[in-house]
Copies of this chain bind each other. A is one copy, B any other.
Amino acid sequence: MISVEERQKCLEACLECMEACNQCYTACLEEKHLDMMRGCLRLDRECADICAYAAKAITSQSPYMQQICALCAQICEDCAQECAKHDHDHCQRCAEACRHCAEACRSMAA
């Protein structure tokens, strides 16, 4: 049984991760060495979109919430791993938000 607090915590983590991913995406598009940012561009969009999707599932009490959170956790982990490779502030902040969201989603899905 998932508590209201756990659900709220996960929602906040998803929204923060969506924000960090979209900001990282936009900042990546303006980086000098764009060639290095292919993985980030790809995963930032994927991750922002699944986080928005998970936020909708949580707030609408979707019967598929746990499965959506499981998928969100996986994409967040992949995005965290990619962003962590880059020194840019926006990448490091994004990696941190992704790790936090992955943890919250993993716990929801369990």
Q: Please give the residue numbers on chain A whose beta carbons come within 8 Å of chain B beta carbons, in ascending order.
A: 11, 15, 18-19, 22-23, 25-26, 29-30, 34-35, 38, 41-42, 45-46, 48-50, 52-53, 55-56, 59-64, 67-68, 71, 74-75, 78
Chain A interface helix/strand/loop/mixed:
helix
Judge whether A60 and B15 touch: CB under 8 Å. no
Judge whether B56 and A41 touch: CB under 8 Å. no
Judge whether A38 and B46 touch: CB under 8 Å. no
| Tally of this chain's copies | 4
What is the chain B residue whose CB lies nearest that of A8? B19
Pick the contact of A46 from B34, B62, B71, B75 — CB < 8 Å?
A: B62
Question: Given known contacts A25-B60, A60-B26, is B55 in contact with A18 (CB within 8 Å)?
Answer: yes
